[in-house]
Amino acid sequence: MLRKLVPYLVYAYVSFVGWTTRQMVLRAHIPEKVHADGQRFIYAFWHQRQVFFTWSHRDAEAAVLVSKSKDGEMIARTMELSRIGAVRGSSSRGGAVAAREMVEILRAGRDVGITPDGPRGPAREVKEGAVRVAQLAGMPIIPIANALSNKIEIAKAWDRFQVPLPFGRSVVIYGEPIRVSESDDLVSKAAELKAAMDRLTDEADRLVS
């Protein structure tokens, strides 16, 4: 019963945070241009900051990769309440099936989202899944970051997971598309993606400090 109730409580809380937070969005023209060019894309964001995206990207035509764990089930249900889809799998459970599903979603005309360091870390280290999906689908990755002036960081969590607090300021920033061709080395592309995500995250943090 508690597990069934938690998604509704989280959704209500995040909605309250969103309603009371002043939000700034930078470089929104980047994803708009990709769509205008007739392509979809892969959102890439750090696991630590995923909560606020369920508010800033509610109603998005996207599906986000979520682990097959019991906690993942609650996350998927919370995203569903925010009108965001879910693809179930991770690097350790159902990864290949989830990758194929994400490629199909992209080709069908929807975006997908991945936390390249999730679900267990190491924090802010990009695994190859995101770049492999981009390579298979022929679609770009758009790194994205957010930052909040009011938040709690859970020190014992492997990624110092952030819980947004109300009555603050937020910023969401998009980075330039990263494209992965058939001949590209995935390790090098993963390093390129990490560097881009780190730059965006640092920029977002400066803007709310």
Q: Output the tens digit of pLDDT for each of the chain's 209 residues.
A: 677 899 999 999 999 999 999 999 999 999 999 999 999 999 999 999 999 999 999 999 899 998 877 778 888 899 999 999 999 876 555 568 888 999 999 999 999 999 999 888 999 999 998 999 999 999 999 999 999 999 999 999 999 999 999 999 999 999 999 999 999 999 999 999 999 999 999 999 999 99
- If phi > 0 it is left, if psi is from -120 to 50 it is alpha, else beta; for residue 109 that is left
Residue 38 Rama label (left phi>0; alpha psi -120 to 50; beta): left
Q: What are phi and psi of 195, to 5 degrees?
A: -60, -40
Specify the pLDDT at position 93. 56
CA distance 128 to 131: 6
Tokens 């109730």 — which residue?
5
Portion of the chain with pLDDT greater than 70, in percent: 97
Helix ranges restricted to H, 20-69: 29-36, 50-56
In CATH terms, 2-208 corresponds, of 3.40.1130.10, 3.40.50.10440, 3.50.40.10, 3.90.1150.10, to 3.40.1130.10
